[in-house]
Amino acid sequence: MRNRYIYITLLSILGFNAETYAQVVVQAPRLVVSITIDQLRTDYLETYAPLYSNDGLKRLLTDGKVFINGAYNFTPVDRASAIASLHTGTVPYYNGITAEEWLDKQTLRPQNCVRDQQIGYSPQFLGTSTISDELKMATNGVAKVFSFAPTADAAILSAGHAADGAAWVSNGKWATTTYYRPINQWLSGYTRLFLPGTDVNKAVTDAALKCLEQAGVGNDDKTDLLSLTYEAGRQMESYVELDRQMALLLNGIERQIARDRVLFVITGTSSREEEEESNQERYRIPTGTFYINRTANLLNMYLGAIFGSAKYVEFCHKNHIYFNHQLLRQKNIHLGEICSRSQEFLLQLSGVRNVYTANQLLTSDSYLLESIRNGFNVEKCGDLIIDIAPGWKLINEDTLEKSISRSAHVPFPIIIYGAGTKAERIQTPVTVDRIAPAVARAIRIRAPNACSSEPLF
């Protein structure tokens, strides 16, 4: 009899513990809202904070987990490479998106990162899975994934390969692609019937809220994902308007889904502002002009004196130099030798801080080259990459491209809000490749297939 009472007591204790454990298990969010704000800066965001309402950016800064020193662990960074890194959890070395545009080595013509000759636009150059792709696979296609953005590259790269649809603003209208199959009827109808207007940020907010209301997003316990891209300017007015759109978005979503069932992830794409030439000269900041096409001609002359007259440099794009590999094979010239000699020559030119060879970036394990190597992709980049001195202008007279070299890091925030996240302000610098695995952990799926970073939270 005594043993029987002990047995019943043990069962009661175990049952109580199981019940207690069940009560503390946190449910996965019904919706993840990934918000990328192009060129968002921490200093501007905080400077204009007194002008914000209580429902928008101020609410995110006050109630969210705020990492104020966000960074990318590769260089160079533009909108496309940034968004690809955010959603794949890895760098261009693996995901293949080195820039909005690169040189196609077969045609020697610029290739947009999402342009597809067959169907117009697609993520064909995105070489790894994204967080939305993993969500689709984990739910056997049940999860709903939509993306809205001001540009095609932002919309498609954040949508990934398996989304229900992506839409962007083009020539005053919504545009989409037939890549995503089957074609989502709601998105098809929305993009045909509604005009985005001149305010692209407002257009993104309106589309997101309509998607929530009419496309069944966030309606069940299967996690869905909305990827939204906004634009931030340098002026006070742009941040005030951005605050208004954030307030409309947050309030609109929370009217339909409880805050503890929605996970908001907000971050930026790193600042790429270029100082005007007149400003540098006015304040006597050291500067100069580096002509990449003229440099290519000089390099051809130098190499001609060594290997015989020929056009060894086939093309140059931005700060990348591409050699004629067929010519090198015909002349039995090893690529490593011509790269080494070219590197020595170019390092003597004014305005050149460093020159990297493709082989150097592929084989070196130096931490000093890590950010350059992470931004390199052997299929998209040149045989030589010239690092222009900070403040110098890079000009290609053949293509009329102009840019100003800048190495300074401008911090941007990473904000996690909702889904039970505790308010916190974190000064420690963090990189954005940790966001995707953190979201994957929150919604209980695998991280993207090339992601090896530690989760952010």
CA atoms within 13 A on the CB side of 24: 5
CA 439, 256, 45 angle in degrees (round to 5)? 55
CB 62 within 8 A of CB 291: no
When pLDDT is averaged across residues 340-362 and rounded to a whole number, the result is 97
pLDDT of residue 20: 45
pLDDT band at 368 (very low <50, low <70, confident <90, very high): confident
Burial environment of residue 285 by CB neighbours within 10 A (0 to 12, 13 to 18, 19 or more): exposed
Beta-sheet pairing, 412-418 with 145-149: unpaired
Task: Give the mean pLDDT of 270-280.
Answer: 62
Nearest in space to 414 (alpha carbons), one of 455, 367, 374, 452? 455
pLDDT tens-digit readout, 185-225: 999 999 999 999 999 999 999 999 999 999 999 999 999 99
Q: Does residue 278 have a pLDDT over 60?
A: no
pLDDT range class, residue 104, cuts 50, 70, 90: very high
Please give the average per-residue pLDDT across 373-402, as a whole number: 93
Q: How confident is the prediction for the chain on average, in pLDDT?
A: 92
Q: Is the peptide bond before 76 cis (omega within 30 degrees of 0)?
A: yes
The pLDDT-based confidence of 272 (bands split at 50, 70, 90) is: low
Query: Is 50 exceeded by the pLDDT of residue 330?
Result: yes
- At residue 196, the pLDDT reads 97
Which of 6-10, 77-81, 349-353, 448-452 is predicted least confidently?
Answer: 6-10
Contact 167, 155 (CB under 8 A): yes
| The pair of three-digit structure tokens given for residue 31, joined into one six-digit string | 């919706």
Rounded CA-CA distance 129/126 in Å is 8
pLDDT band at 25 (very low <50, low <70, confident <90, very high): low
**Model confidence over 294-313: pLDDT tens digits?**
999 999 999 999 999 999 99
Tell me: pLDDT of 10 over 50: no
Q: β-pairing, 289-291 with 320-323?
A: unpaired
Q: Is the pTM of this model over 0.75?
A: yes
Nearest to 222 by CA among 184, 181, 250, 261: 261
- What is the arithmetic mean of pLDDT over 332-355? 97
Confidence of residue 15 (pLDDT cuts 50, 70, 90): low
- Within 8 A by CB and 6+ apart from 449, the residues are 128, 129, 134
User: In terms of C-beta density within 10 A (0-12 exposed, 13-18 middle, 19 or more buried), how is residue 50 classed?
Assistant: exposed
Mean pLDDT of 49-68: 97
Report the C-alpha gap between 379 and 102 in whole angstroms: 10
Q: What is the mean pLDDT of residues 163-177?
A: 97
